């Protein structure tokens, strides 16, 4: 009896180990042996890397796993993928099983559920397809743009190489350096102007402003009424003098306005000039010189 009991224990232990091993393997595959599943099939022309134990998702949530991937040797374009999906998920007819390539290289099956009140039953075949996914977007959208951009980048690099090799660039850099030095010198001159010359100039301007203020003060203190009275008196005297000089009733006016007086003076001047000329021509007529008692 003891011997049989020992054998039973060994058998029971072996069976439990096998069960635990199976449960562990299924767990590592992503399956829960304690959950009930429905089996569906989908047919692919290209497996796209899907394999047994690949996860099956619906709206981003794992609802099952791929249990098998079988190649139909009688029809090389048929690859049958067996899907084990939790029986709680009802898959509407018209849904699609899309193969999705992730960025990290993993492959999964995504169920795109249709809007239908009729559902697939256990053992039905679901229409398959290839989803773009992130890698598909990169391949279909970004790669063409990158391919179109490569020639432009190559042309840009060629142009930059040509520009760097052009001696004019070195000359331009030298000119820029020279301009920079001149700007530095100008900045130094401006700094000297603001710190040395400008204060002196402002001091001179301040003195000028002070002088102008002094002149303005003196002008403001001047008695303009008395000054204008003096000016009016002077102008009146000038008018009186002018009237006297132009009047025939005054001696000066008569002298300036009498034509006979002018003619007489002119005649006297003419006779005087004639006398002087005659004296020069005939001095003996007017001057007698006696030498040794004789005339």
The predicted-structure confidence for 57-103, as pLDDT tens digits, reads as follows 998 888 888 888 888 888 777 889 999 888 888 999 999 988 887 76
Residues 58 and 126 in one domain: yes
Burial string for 251-269 (b: 16+ CB within 10 Å, else e) reads eeeeeeeeeeeeeeeeeee
Asked if residue 77 belongs to a domain, the reply is: yes
d(CA 92, CA 112): 10
User: What burial letters (b/e) apply to 9-36, b meaning 16+ CB within 10 Å?
Assistant: eeeeeeeeeeeeeeeeeeeebebeeeee
What does the block give as tokens for 157? Answer: 């690099």
Number of domains the chain is built from: 3
Residue 190: C-alpha distances to residues 185, 195, 201, 202 (Å): 9, 8, 14, 16
Angular region, 204: left φ>0, alpha ψ -120 to 50, beta rest: alpha
CA dist list (Å): 127 to 91, 235, 268: 12, 125, 151
Considering the domain architecture, whether residues 54 and 4 belong to the same structural domain is answered as: no
Residues 75 and 20 in one domain: no
* Range ranked top by mean pLDDT from 3-7, 50-54, 194-198: 50-54
How far apart (Å, rounded) are the C-alpha atoms in residues 276 and 272?
Answer: 6
Higher pLDDT, residue 276 or 246: 276
Q: Ranked by mean pLDDT, which of 25-29, 226-230, 252-256 comes out on top?
A: 226-230
Listed in sequence order, the DSSP H helices in 125-223 are 133-137, 143-165, 167-192, 198-221
Is residue 27 one of the residues assigned to a domain? yes
Same-domain pairing of 232 and 259: yes
Domain membership of residue 55 (yes or no) is yes
Residue 88 falls in which region: left (phi positive, over 0), alpha (psi -120 to 50) or beta: alpha
Higher pLDDT, 190 or 136: 190
Beta bridge partner(s), residue 26: none
Q: What is the mean pLDDT of residues 218-223?
A: 71
What pLDDT does residue 77 have? 78
Whether residues 27 and 49 share a domain: the answer is no
Tell whether 292 is covered by a domain. Answer: no
At 232-258, the pLDDT tens digits run: 888 888 888 777 767 666 666 666 666
Work out the mean pLDDT of the chain and round it to a whole number: 78
Q: Are residues 42 and 127 in the same domain?
A: yes
pLDDT for 105 beyond 70: no
User: Is residue 16 within 8 Å of 47, Cβ to Cβ?
Assistant: no
pLDDT of residue 133: 53
Residues 235 and 245 reside in one and the same domain = yes
Could you tell me if 123 and 66 lie in one domain? yes
Q: 23 lies in which domain range?
A: 1-34
The answer to whether residue 257 sits within a structural domain is yes
pLDDT at 182: 84
Q: Does residue 123 share a domain with residue 81?
A: yes
Q: In what order do the strands lie in the sheet with 55-58?
A: 37-44, 79-86, 61-71, 55-58, 107-112, 96-101, 127-130
**Residue 121 forms part of a structural domain:** yes
Domain end, chosen from 99, 131, 163, is at: 131
pTM for the full predicted model: 0.40
Residues 116 and 42 in one domain: yes
* Mean pLDDT of the region 19-39: 68
Q: Which of 85, 101, 131 is the last residue of a domain?
A: 131
What mean pLDDT comes out for the span 35-60? 85
Mean pLDDT for 11-19 is: 78
pLDDT band at 215; cut points 50, 70, 90: confident
Each residue's pLDDT tens digit, 30-40: 555 556 888 99
Do both 21 and 52 map to the same domain? no
Share of the chain above pLDDT 90, in %: 7
The alpha carbon dihedral of 244, 246, 247, 251 has a sign of positive
pLDDT of residue 92: 92
Tell me the C-alpha distance between 104 and 294, whole Å: 162
Model pLDDT, residue 1: 44
Q: Do 1 and 59 have their domain in common? A: no
- Please check whether residue 156 lies inside any domain of the structure: no
Average pLDDT over residues 270-295: 72
Is residue 201 assigned to a domain?
no
Phi, psi of 65 (to 5 degrees): -140, 165
């Amino acid at each position: 009896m003891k011997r049989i009991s020992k054998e039973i224990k060994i058998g029971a232990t072996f069976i439990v180990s096998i069960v635990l091993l199976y449960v562990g393997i299924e767990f590592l595959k992503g399956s829960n042996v304690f959950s009930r599943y429905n089996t569906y099939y989908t047919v692919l022309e290209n497996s796209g890397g899907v394999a047994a134990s690949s996860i099956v998702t619906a709206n981003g949530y794992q609802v099952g796993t791929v249990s098998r991937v079988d190649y139909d040797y009688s029809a090389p374009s048929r690859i049958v993928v067996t899907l084990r999906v939790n029986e709680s998920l009802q898959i509407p007819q018209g849904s699609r099983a899309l193969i999705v390539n992730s960025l990290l290289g993993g492959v999964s099956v995504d169920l795109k559920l249709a809007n239908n009140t009729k559902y697939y039953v256990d053992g039905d075949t679901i229409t398959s397809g290839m989803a773009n996914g992130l890698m598909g977007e990169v391949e279909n959208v970004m790669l063409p743009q990158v391919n179109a951009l490569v020639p432009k980048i190559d042309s840009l690099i060629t142009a930059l190489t040509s520009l760097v090799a052009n001696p004019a660039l070195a000359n331009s850099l030298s000119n820029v350096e020279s301009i920079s030095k001149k700007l530095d010198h100008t900045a130094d001159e401006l700094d000297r102007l603001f710190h040395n010359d400008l204060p002196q100039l402002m001091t001179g301007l301040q003195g000028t402003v002070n002088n102008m203020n002094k002149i303005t003060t003196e002008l403001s203190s001047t008695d303009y009424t008395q000054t204008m009275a003096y000016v009016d008196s002077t102008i009146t005297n000038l008018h009186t003098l002018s009237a006297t000089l132009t009047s025939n009733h005054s001696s000066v006016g008569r002298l300036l306005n009498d034509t006979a007086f002018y003619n007489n003076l002119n005649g006297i001047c003419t006779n005087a000039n004639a006398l002087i000329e005659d004296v020069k021509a005939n001095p003996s007529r007017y001057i007698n010189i006696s030498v040794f008692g004789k005339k």
